[in-house]
Structure 1
Amino acid sequence: MKTVIIVTKQQSPERMPETKDNILFSGKKNEVLKLSNINGNLTNNNAREIFARIPGVTVWENEGSGLQINVGVRGLSPNRSWELNTRQNGVDMSADVFGYPEAYYNPPLEAVETIQMVRGGASLQFGPQFGGMLNYVLKRETEKPFSFETQNTVGSYGLVSTFNALGGKYKKWSYYLYNHSRSAKGWRKNNRFEARNTHAFLEYRISEKTKISAEYTNANYEMQQPGGLTDNQFNADSRQSHRTRNWFGVPWNIFSMNFDTKVNANFDVNVKAFGLVGKRNSVGFTKAANIEDAIDPLTDQYANRRVDSDEYRNLGIENRNIFRYQLGKTKQNLAFGVRVYQAKTKRFQNGNGTTASDFDMNLLRKYETELQFTTKNIALFAENQFKLTEKFSITPGVRFEHINSTSNGRINIVDGNFGEKNIVRNKPLLGLGLEYKLNKTNIYANISQAFRPVLFSDLTPPATRDIIDPNLKDARGYNADLGYRGVYKGFLNFDVSVFYLSYNNRVGGLRQFIDNNAPNLGTYLFRTNLGETRNKGIESFVDINITKMAGIEQPYGNLDVFASMSFIDSKYVDFKTRTVSETEPNKIITKNLAGNRVENAPR
């Protein structure tokens, strides 16, 4: 009988090596979650369980379906992970990386092999986002000619889920295909949903040094949206719902082609061509909560519903290279590349829909609001790891972003079209990382600049009387990290660090008089840059394998005790506000709310 080796699961986050996939990770705070090692609810994409071992992550749950994963870091908003550069297999999956960076799509976690998270130091190699990069790496079969996996789940509130995957490797070919389908009635009334996600991957290895692959993801979900409650009704029974005709749906398509080659022993090249075609659809009765959605006795029908729809069409190509060279007695690493990207969004709002109750996007007359947004982006980036000794390295880096954003269209039918708006940015970003190795532990530090372009919603006023500052600026700032991490004697896994995040030029609204000499004419909202915030704190993860520490892991397996802790202090250092006095004569009251806590940051 052959010797059987039992390998126990390690649920602690792993960390990226110095270089991987032509990317430099030296000196950057990062975590890698291997989902097969985590005892969590993957069926429902339960983000609280999955991200529990990454300190500083906050999670929103807008509804219990798990169709959208909302995570934020370091006190930033978790809203559809929009402060992060979200990717699937290294490819963008948000609606528009700059203008509308919300991730309406997420892969089913049953299909995910690992989750990679790189904090603010990711801004140089991935994009300028303040939160860093979040990448979902899907499963692959790399050894067997054929494998099949099925996971089938039933649960409370009518949950039925099935995940089926097959894959294999035969000669020079590799393939992987999965389908995930899930439905439930939901915890609240009028909250049922149906979701489907299909993915196909095919790879051909041209030689030992070169391979090419293609993959395609098709996903769609439809979700009923409960609501129609006043505060008193919600406090009395939060599970009730007075809206039966409100729906939300997201068809999403992501496709990419990938080329990898080793030019020689010191030079690797990767090229990804990718695209996204998606929609965001909603239809419903959107009147105030105190207005009942009931059948009109005169017409014997419900009221017409509001219809909104976004269409997304994105294309891009990203090249990453790594060059290894000798400098003195040590080998150095240079990672560099280029990215070209274009995203087009068509936004249709305030359509007059039917009186039906199902998911019906048909219109009785054209949309009142029709807008078009285009983002064109070219980015150049480079980082070099200078190894001064075998233990100590310095990694300076630079990224240059050219972003051209345009918008045009019609806010409403009465006022007609507004003139085309165009914003061109040329933004250099600098960063510096340090790392010092101590056996199986290391000290790391990083400081990297970041910025966030104004969003589509900042370019178009929600009301005709609102005015947008023509000199509206992008948010800018930087992330800084200092930490100590590693493994001690095989039983202690830890990462303890401090951080400082500066976030300037936050966008908001100022209330101003239409005419200072005639206050009776009322006021308007002036959308402009308001304030600056700073987030600072401690992020700490400690995992102790008790059985390994006691030397009894072979007969008893792993018994881990872990603590994922963070302390986040987020405050405004500059926050100008203006309000109108409620007594005659009307006056603008100017205040500065410096010292106030930042919204969305945990306390």
Structure 2
Amino acid sequence: MPHHTARPLVLALSLASMTALAQQAPDTPVEHAQGSPKPATNLPAVEVKAQSWRQTLKAKLEHMLAEVDGTLITVTKKTTVTHLDQQPTVIGNNLDQLLARSPGIQVSQQPTPTQFNLSYRGLGNPQESEYVLVMQDGIPLESDWIGFPTLYAMPLTQGLASVELIRGGSSLLYGPEPAPVLNLVSRRPAADAPLSFTTEQVVGNRGLYSTYNVLEGSSGRWSYRVDAGYVGSDGTRPNADSQMRQADLYLAYRPTAQQQWWLDLHVIDAASGDAGRLSYPQWQANPRATPTPYNRDWVDRDQLVLGHSREFGDGWLFTGKLWFAYQDLASRAANGALPPQPPPSTTTLQDEQFRSSGVDLRLRKRWGQGNAFTVGTTLFDGDDPFRQWTSTDLYVDRDDRSGTPRLVQARSSHYASVFAENVFRLPHRFHIVPSVRLEHERVAVEETVKPPFLRRPLINEADARTVPLFGLGIGNDFGHGNETYFNVSQGWRPLRYFDMASPFANIVPGHAPDPSKSLSWEAGVHGVPVTGLYYDVSVFWIDFKNRIEAQHINATDVIEVNTGDTRSRGLEGQLNYDFFARTTLADRGEHLEGFLNASLLNARFTASAIPGQVGKIPAYAPRYLLKAGVTWRVEERVKLSLTAVSSAAQYWQDSNQPLGSGNTYLPARIPAYTVLDLASDWQLNRTVKLLAGVSNLTDRQYYSRVWQTGLEPAAGRTWYTGVKLTL
């Protein structure tokens, strides 16, 4: 038993013994040392309450990862966990709702299911989440993890059990990207779960229809789960319609209590119109305007995972994952034009395929008094052909190859790493975690057809990099359920295909830049000092070196060089409090939880070859990002939640300058915005659950995503209602 629990128990036993002795013979004289008899004195009753360390640990795990989570060591790293069964159902992959309890993660809104834009602490443009490592069950969801780390496919939120956000050492756990790791954890049936079937049917405005169906259970040594879902919508503008289909299969076999084999199959098929981006005057005049009524995007992603875990005894645990993925990105894109402008004469049909495979092997050994050692390796291989055609048919089919070849590239990526970490438990409740990871990447591009407007030679480049990473974490448990933590760690961003040579510019070949690297410092404190309260507050400093910038040689030729350094510093805090936790309502399963998390950011360029760039604010680095909400939850009956996301104004490009003039004008900054969402689940009985909610409750007209070609209007007020049946 830990000594911090033993002390109050010993005191309680001593006081109880003294009181019992006095009560047994209240009128019997007691002999003192001097031999003079005196009457006994009744001591006042003393009530001593002690909370078990197990209860404290359980309360902390409602909001953070375990210090040693399977084969992962996360102690001294800053982690946040959102358990989705404690909030209402998220419909239509509403990322603001899904990530409302994930501090600092910024969602750049694009209301179609074929591209997802996330950023963090001003470390990079959120375009396709290129600077955030997004994973499902510890396996990357990116198109190509190394050469093209973009996010075009996301699982339906109904199939997720929790969302894990890891920063401060995340690169040492999982690999490339500076920070953070966003890991989506799939739902799994319990080992003793009976056979069950659920179907969810939801409708809403703008033609919204969503269905999600699950068959799952366990029998003996086997567990299984099969789901199929669909979400369709007409969208917020003409040619903004979308459809997404998903199917998953999970099969697990436990030959003994100490080992398990499993198979995961994930299939995603999505398509959407691309209504096009608007200038600021066009958005003000008509936010529903559609300059590209003929453009369209398609995404297909299939992934197969084979996994094995085994406990060997004496503290040894092994986990291994082998995966194969195929993703096809297709698009039809022509220049935008609003009447009275004439429509474009040609369109570009594009097809990018990604065939990848990987293996992740990890071994953990618990030793001594609370110490643990992990070691492992990760290997990855990608084969990613890239092709384009020019067609005069603005509505050409995605599989039509009759157009004129515009671009043909063969691309490949290879990655290997080995890593090790150890947590040492020291006297006075201190712990220290040294980490090391060695990474190696190789990317190659061989071009046989280039766009006709370019005069550069064909690209034939191959570059390899070896990057060592180190980290150190220190922590201390103090008081009751509190911990201070400090982490300093290195991270990096791999060299992408586009970094070696852009397919669409006169970039001079043979000038591949070095990878961008980060050094991250984080110090904070978190804990559960009283029942129902959880807090986590930290300060951070991130130096991001070798940001890749385009340097012009002349009016048309550019090279990619390492000239940009940025510094991000600030405070990130999280507060959760259950107002009913210390009342009898909690004993009956009723909770009223409020939460608030905030990211306060100061980011600046500290070096750049671009004149006047030093001192400017990087793109998508708002001074504050606030998320708050309140959830009323009655076990097996009600979940009602009101959440808010509020962002400060932010620049959308590193130059901090507006773009264009007149009808093509784009302001330098994205205005501040606050968005409210309301969601609810009402369990009528064991079989029937009602669902209802409103996103963007106040119908705020805003935008949070801007590119060189214009801004993307965010969705207005959206409501839904539906029913979920359990059989």
TM-score by shorter chain over 0.5: yes
For the pair 1:368 / 2:388, whether they are aligned, the reply is no
Instruction: Provide the rounded CA distance (Å) in 1 between the counterparts of 2:59 and 2:473.
Output: 28
Q: Quick one: which amino acid aligns to residue 71 of structure 2?
A: N
For the pair 1:596 / 2:616, whether they are aligned, the reply is yes
For the pair 1:430 / 2:430, whether they are aligned, the reply is no
Partner of 1:567: 600
Q: Is the 8 A contact 1:123 1:130 kept in 2?
A: yes
Q: Is the 8 A contact 2:521 2:542 kept in 1?
A: yes
Query: 1:82: Cα distance to partner?
Result: 2.0
Aligned pair partner of 1:472 in 505, 509, 513: 513
Instruction: Provide the rounded CA distance (Å) in 2 between the counterparts of 1:129 and 1:315.
Output: 19
* Segment drifting more, 101-110 vs 121-130: 121-130
Query: 1:240: Cα distance to partner?
Result: 1.9
Q: Is the 8 A contact 2:501 2:512 kept in 1?
A: no
Aligned pair partner of 1:340 in 379, 386, 391: 379
Instruction: Provide the rounded CA distance (Å) in 2 between the counterparts of 1:312 and 1:18.
Output: 35
CA deviation vs aligned residue, 1:511-551 (integer Å, no higher than 9, x gap): 233xxxxxxxx553232122100100000111222233566
Instruction: Provide the rounded CA distance (Å) in 2 between the counterparts of 1:321 and 1:346.
Output: 35
Q: Residues 562 and 10 of structure 1: is their aligned pair in 2 closer, same or farther, counting only changes over 3 Å?
A: farther
Q: Is the 8 A contact 2:292 2:336 kept in 1?
A: no
For the pair 1:488 / 2:548, whether they are aligned, the reply is no
CA deviation vs aligned residue, 1:474-522 (integer Å, no higher than 9, x gap): 1012111111101122121110001111101111112233xxxxxxxx5
Aligned pair partner of 1:59 in 107, 118, 127: 107
CA deviation vs aligned residue, 1:82-139 (integer Å, no higher than 9, x gap): 2122111121211111211111111100110011110131111201311221111111
Q: Quick one: which amino acid aligns to residue 431 of structure 2?
A: S
Partner of 1:587: none
Query: 1:66: Cα distance to partner?
Result: 4.8
| Mapping for residues 322-341 of structure 1, pairs under 5 Å | 322-326=364-368, 330-341=369-380
Partner of 2:420: 382
CA deviation vs aligned residue, 1:546-594 (integer Å, no higher than 9, x gap): 23356654469322232211200110011221xxxxxxxxxxxxx2421
Aligned pair partner of 1:460 in 501, 506, 526: 501
Q: Quick one: which amino acid aligns to residue 609 of structure 2?
A: K
Query: 1:417: Cα distance to partner?
Result: 6.8
Instruction: Provide the rounded CA distance (Å) in 2 between the counterparts of 1:571 and 1:476.
Output: 16
Instruction: Provide the rounded CA distance (Å) in 1 between the counterparts of 2:505 and 2:394.
Output: 30
CA deviation vs aligned residue, 1:161-184 (integer Å, no higher than 9, x gap): 000011111001110110110111
Partner of 2:129: 81
1:488 counterpart SS class: coil
Q: Residues 499 and 548 of structure 1: is their aligned pair in 2 closer, same or farther, counting only changes over 3 Å?
A: same
Partner of 1:4: none
| Mapping for residues 29-48 of structure 1, pairs under 5 Å | 29-39=78-88, 42-48=90-96
Partner of 1:498: 539
* Segment drifting more, 456-465 vs 566-575: 456-465
Aligned pair partner of 2:434 in 396, 407, 422: 396
Instruction: Provide the rounded CA distance (Å) in 2 between the counterparts of 1:498 and 1:117.
Output: 17
Q: Is the 8 A contact 1:352 1:363 kept in 2?
A: no
Instruction: Provide the rounded CA distance (Å) in 1 between the counterparts of 2:442 and 2:174.
Output: 18
Q: Residues 266 and 186 of structure 1: is their aligned pair in 2 closer, same or farther, counting only changes over 3 Å?
A: same
Instruction: Provide the rounded CA distance (Å) in 2 between the counterparts of 1:147 and 1:445.
Output: 45
Q: Quick one: which amino acid aligns to residue 437 of structure 2?
A: R
Q: Is the 8 A contact 1:228 1:289 kept in 2?
A: no
Higher gyration radius (CA): 2
1:52 counterpart SS class: coil
For the pair 1:26 / 2:75, whether they are aligned, the reply is yes
For the pair 1:544 / 2:544, whether they are aligned, the reply is no
Q: Is the 8 A contact 2:347 2:392 kept in 1?
A: yes
Query: 1:218: Cα distance to partner?
Result: 0.8
Query: 1:440: Cα distance to partner?
Result: 1.2
Instruction: Provide the rounded CA distance (Å) in 2 between the counterparts of 1:248 and 1:535.
Output: 35
For the pair 1:148 / 2:161, whether they are aligned, the reply is no
* Segment drifting more, 411-420 vs 138-147: 411-420
1:548 counterpart SS class: coil
Query: 1:456: Cα distance to partner?
Result: 1.2
Instruction: Provide the rounded CA distance (Å) in 2 between the counterparts of 1:293 and 1:177.
Output: 49
Partner of 1:418: 458
Q: Is the 8 A contact 2:113 2:242 kept in 1?
A: no
Aligned pair partner of 2:296 in 224, 229, 247: 247
For the pair 1:72 / 2:119, whether they are aligned, the reply is yes
Partner of 2:247: 198
Partner of 1:584: none
Instruction: Provide the rounded CA distance (Å) in 2 between the counterparts of 1:173 and 1:311.
Output: 35
Q: Is the 8 A contact 2:165 2:180 kept in 1?
A: yes
Query: 1:200: Cα distance to partner?
Result: 0.3
Q: Is the 8 A contact 2:443 2:495 kept in 1?
A: no
Q: Residues 177 and 598 of structure 1: is their aligned pair in 2 closer, same or farther, counting only changes over 3 Å?
A: same
Q: Residues 79 and 365 of structure 1: is their aligned pair in 2 closer, same or farther, counting only changes over 3 Å?
A: closer
Instruction: Provide the rounded CA distance (Å) in 1 between the counterparts of 2:194 and 2:587.
Output: 32
Percent identical residues = 23
Query: 1:292: Cα distance to partner?
Result: 4.2
Aligned pair partner of 1:257 in 286, 306, 315: 306
**Total equivalences in the alignment:** 561
Q: Is the 8 A contact 1:145 1:169 kept in 2?
A: yes
Q: Quick one: which amino acid aligns to residue 319 of structure 1?
A: L
Instruction: Provide the rounded CA distance (Å) in 2 between the counterparts of 1:462 and 1:20.
Output: 43
Q: Is the 8 A contact 1:93 1:254 kept in 2?
A: no
Q: Is the 8 A contact 1:461 1:467 kept in 2?
A: no
Instruction: Provide the rounded CA distance (Å) in 2 between the counterparts of 1:150 and 1:177.
Output: 12
Query: 1:471: Cα distance to partner?
Result: 5.0
Instruction: Provide the rounded CA distance (Å) in 1 between the counterparts of 2:173 and 2:524.
Output: 21
Partner of 1:309: 351
Q: Is the 8 A contact 2:511 2:560 kept in 1?
A: no
Q: Is the 8 A contact 1:242 1:292 kept in 2?
A: no
Q: Residues 396 and 87 of structure 1: is their aligned pair in 2 closer, same or farther, counting only changes over 3 Å?
A: same
| Mapping for residues 435-454 of structure 1, pairs under 5 Å | 435-438=475-478, 439-454=480-495
TM-score by length of 1: 0.88
2:498 counterpart SS class: helix
CA deviation vs aligned residue, 1:39-86 (integer Å, no higher than 9, x gap): 3x61121111222222212111122x4554432222233333221221
Partner of 2:642: none
Q: Is the 8 A contact 1:11 1:38 kept in 2?
A: no
Structure 2 stretches lacking a partner, 5+ long: 1-57, 624-727
* Segment drifting more, 413-422 vs 539-548: 413-422
Instruction: Provide the rounded CA distance (Å) in 2 between the counterparts of 1:198 and 1:420.
Output: 39
Partner of 2:691: none
Aligned pair partner of 1:132 in 168, 180, 202: 180
RMSD: 2.4
Aligned pair partner of 1:123 in 146, 150, 171: 171
Structure 1 stretches lacking a partner, 5+ long: 1-8, 295-301, 514-521, 578-590
Query: 1:419: Cα distance to partner?
Result: 5.1
Instruction: Provide the rounded CA distance (Å) in 1 between the counterparts of 2:76 and 2:284.
Output: 48
Q: Quick one: which amino acid aligns to residue 449 of structure 1?
A: Q
Query: 1:266: Cα distance to partner?
Result: 1.5
Q: Is the 8 A contact 2:417 2:438 kept in 1?
A: yes
Q: Quick one: which amino acid aligns to residue 267 of structure 1?
A: W
Q: Quick one: which amino acid aligns to residue 428 of structure 1?
A: P
TM-score by length of 2: 0.74
Q: Is the 8 A contact 1:354 1:362 kept in 2?
A: no
Query: 1:325: Cα distance to partner?
Result: 1.9
Q: Quick one: which amino acid aligns to residue 175 of structure 1?
A: Y
